[in-house]
Structure 1
Amino acid sequence: MGRAPLLAQKGPEVERRAFMEDSIGAASAVGMPASTRQGIPVGLKGAIGTAHLIGLREGLRSLYQLDDAYGGGDVRSLARRHLKRVERIINTASYPETVGRQLQLLAGETTEHCGWLYYDADDQGRARRYWGEALTTATVLGDDNLAIMVLASLSMQASYEGRPRQGLDLARAAQERALRYGSPMLQSLLASREARALSLLGDDCGAKQRLVESMRLVERSNHGRPSPHWAAFHGHAELDYAQGLHFTEAGHHHGAVQFLRAALDHQDRTYGRNRALYRLTLSRSLVRAGEVDEAAAQAVESLEHLEEVESARVTRRLNEVTGLLRSVDATSARDAADHLTEYAQISGAAR
């Protein structure tokens, strides 16, 4: 509350960082006993129980929410600290075997999330290392849910890095486990990952089949087990976006525009990073479809989201759209490119 006058003077970037600092401080202390916050080894004050686990899980949930809203830039250091806290408790505290397994699982899930945050930062080497560690934990514990989550992430990364064959194999390995899990929404997510890899491999027919299946599974989401918490982002907006990317790969930019508009319309406003990425991707497809004026307008409108988000993947798309707009001989496109460049210079997004 004491920051309000400062925020009014210095604008959205200061506001975002101030909010993140407050949220990080709050999430760091969630659920931990006073002895831990004061730096006293937990094991000296008694055994870890269910209340501690709930608090640590709440901390991880907070990390998911902050990342969804603002991107991973300011969340990575907190995620690393949260992981170190869980690992310290595992190695120094006393607890029953059942609690120990849950602590190990929480460490694996936090490790996986660290991998996602470095993926979003476009630090793919470090993302792979975290995901490799998380997959090892899933194997040791024999936990299918964690294994599916990691394999799905690795599939996404492989496609992103131009390794679609590996992306396809990883998505199918995850899908085999998901069939036993019994969640239509989870199977839908993995089918969309398969579709992305097939699209990049040039298998248009196969990609369409998997996208149709993915949409069918979403419609059956009320049947079977609910999706795991980490897959909560998946739904109609995500599938519209996947369809848009598929049409983009096929060179059908007018078709891509239709689905990308729908993705932006359907995307929940709590997913700030996704909204920024969707709008910039829509702008890119509009340029390629020859709808330059709307492309310029969407690009400029994306600045509203970009002021709140720190994500290297979004920055990469911003730079791509800026370059495309500069290549077009239209006043609206050049003006929009100037706005984007000015924003990048002020915010440091051009780094």
Structure 2
Amino acid sequence: MAMSRAVPNLAFRRLRGQRSAAEFAAAVRRAAREIGEQVACDARYIGRVEAGEIRCPNYAYERVFLHMFPGLGLSDLGFSAREAVRGRRRAVPADAASPAGFTTWNDEESDVLRRAFMTSGSAALAAASLTLGGPAVAIPAPRGAHRIGETEVRAVEDVVRRIRLLDDRHGADGLHKAAVRPLRAAYALLDAGTAARRSTEERLHAGAGELALSVGWLAHDSGRHEDARSHYAEALATARVTGSAGNAALEAHAFCNTSFLARDTGRYREALRAAQAGLRVARPLGSARLLCLLSLREAGAWAGLGDRSACERALGRAHSFFDRGPVDDDPEWMSFFGEPEREAHEAQCWSLLGDWGRAVRHARRATVLQNPHFARNLALYRAQLAEDLARAGRRDEAEAEAGLVRESLDGVASARVRALLTETGRVLSATR
């Protein structure tokens, strides 16, 4: 069936005015931060809206746009009604991935997931939804002298964004298995495809590496630590293939995740080395927030090693970097990182050092500051707070906080959250 041609969104273009697409994208990201929302907006996204490829924004973008233009509705911004775009719910194709754990999600997210991770026989096509309710774009296994272009690269990048959105809302369990398929397809393009331009090849390397890190994070959060370690190493190797700035950013991201995984699994020396390597790579990139997160990773490693003084010095550096504020050059993947996450990391440091009073204070601040929209992170912070309260001997508060976590777990599937609750129960049982 032939698809109708996109109709340019002239109303949205008028609202952009004299600003460039990149300048307008930066304004969208700033507006998102004002309301506690997090969107990965760039010039390409603005271009797709204005070209009519995005007929209706997702709910996060909708909130941001209505905040930017008070008094206007979606139709005033040139968008179609969500119901008209999404249409009736479709049946899942017989060859589509349907991983367990997604049945509690709402129609919109279930539909996106089905279209984001489809397979097609031996060719193993991984489809990525470019927009909610919009057409899917496939990442095909290359055939012969296949030339890689904008379509393939954009599909890889959009799969990464979709994974991050679904993980923010629901956690990793169940999503990891489905996400491996597009990762394999992306690396098949790297192995056998030929890019039309050098810039396209560099974007594909960066996109495939970020996809490896996203899949690695899903493995990490769902307790598959060896799988996560393998994916992080794969991303690091990909980052070192070329010397572009994009791959330097990917290398810093890979070291950041590797440090976190090593700390979570008790390999504190490895965590320290990875965090310090990440700091060296990240310094020229111009993102104080990235340097802050890597400093927090370093602090966590020092805490695990029992070196309180070194931990405090690293925390001090992290605070200094954080106080510089966000910039437009902050990595897209760091959209999750703000004051709640910083407080949670500091709480983890004090927990490792056995300073339960400080751990409780920082963990509680993380729960208070966190936007409830990010359900997985809020559940994680509360579970951490419950364990810290239990270790501090504050039984009633710990039980109450653990109860809040259990009530919020509908639709949230994270092995890390469950592990924290299990440990809280163990501590409480031991002190009866």
Query: Shared fold (TM-score greater than 0.5)?
Result: yes
State the distance in 2 between where 1:243 and 1:41 align.
44
Are positions 1:152 and 2:256 aligned together? yes
Aligned to 1:205: 309
Q: 1:288 to 1:222 in 2, by over 3 A?
A: closer
CA contact (8 A) 2:129 2:136 kept: no
Aligned to 1:280: 383
Aligned to 1:22: 111
State the distance in 1 between where 2:289 and 2:372 align.
21
Match of 2:155 among 30, 49, 55: 55
Match of 2:237 among 136, 147, 150: 136
Question: What's the offset of the Cα at 1:20?
Answer: 5.3
Aligned to 1:348: none
Question: What's the offset of the Cα at 1:69?
Answer: 1.3
State the distance in 1 between where 2:143 and 2:426 align.
56
State the distance in 2 between where 1:64 and 1:158 align.
21
The C-alpha deviation readout for 1:233-272, integer Å capped at 9, x for no partner, is: 2221112112212222232212211111101111222322
State the distance in 1 between where 2:326 and 2:107 align.
40
Aligned to 1:110: 211
State the distance in 2 between where 1:244 and 1:35 align.
41
Point out where structure 2 has 5 or more consecutive residues left out of the alignment: 1-87, 91-100, 117-126
- Where 2:336 maps in the other structure, the secondary structure is coil
Are positions 1:176 and 2:280 aligned together? yes
Q: How is 1:91-106 mapped onto 2 (pairs within 5 angstroms)?
A: 95-98=195-198, 99-106=200-207
Q: 1:326 to 1:51 in 2, by over 3 A?
A: same
Letter in 2 for 1:262: R
Q: Which moved more, 1:320-329 or 1:286-295?
A: 320-329
Are positions 1:65 and 2:165 aligned together? yes
Aligned to 1:304: 407
Match of 2:394 among 291, 294, 299: 291
Match of 1:126 among 224, 227, 231: 227
**TM-score, scaled relative to structure 1:** 0.82
Higher helix proportion (structure 1 or 2):
1
Question: What's the offset of the Cα at 1:66?
Answer: 0.6
Aligned to 2:366: 263
CA contact (8 A) 2:296 2:346 kept: no
Letter in 2 for 1:271: F
State the distance in 2 between where 1:167 and 1:90 align.
29
Q: How is 1:213-224 mapped onto 2 (pairs within 5 angstroms)?
A: 213-222=317-326
- Where 1:302 maps in the other structure, the secondary structure is helix
Match of 1:244 among 342, 347, 353: 347
CA contact (8 A) 2:259 2:275 kept: yes
Match of 2:417 among 314, 339, 350: 314
CA contact (8 A) 1:147 1:174 kept: yes
The root-mean-square deviation of aligned C-alpha atoms, in Å, is 2.9
Point out where structure 1 has 5 or more consecutive residues left out of the alignment: 4-11, 330-351
Q: 1:95 to 1:31 in 2, by over 3 A?
A: farther
Are positions 1:187 and 2:291 aligned together? yes
Aligned to 1:339: none
CA contact (8 A) 2:287 2:326 kept: no
Q: Which moved more, 1:261-270 or 1:26-35?
A: 26-35
State the distance in 1 between where 2:209 and 2:140 align.
24
State the distance in 2 between where 1:46 and 1:122 align.
37
Q: 1:93 to 1:77 in 2, by over 3 A?
A: same
State the distance in 2 between where 1:100 and 1:180 align.
22
State the distance in 1 between where 2:136 and 2:303 align.
53
- Answer 1 or 2: higher relative contact order, Cα 8 Å, separation at least 6: 1
State the distance in 2 between where 1:176 and 1:150 align.
13
State the distance in 2 between where 1:21 and 1:218 align.
36
Aligned to 1:336: none
CA contact (8 A) 1:171 1:193 kept: yes
Question: What's the offset of the Cα at 1:21?
Answer: 3.8
State the distance in 2 between where 1:133 and 1:105 align.
12
**How many percent of aligned residue pairs carry the same amino acid?**
29
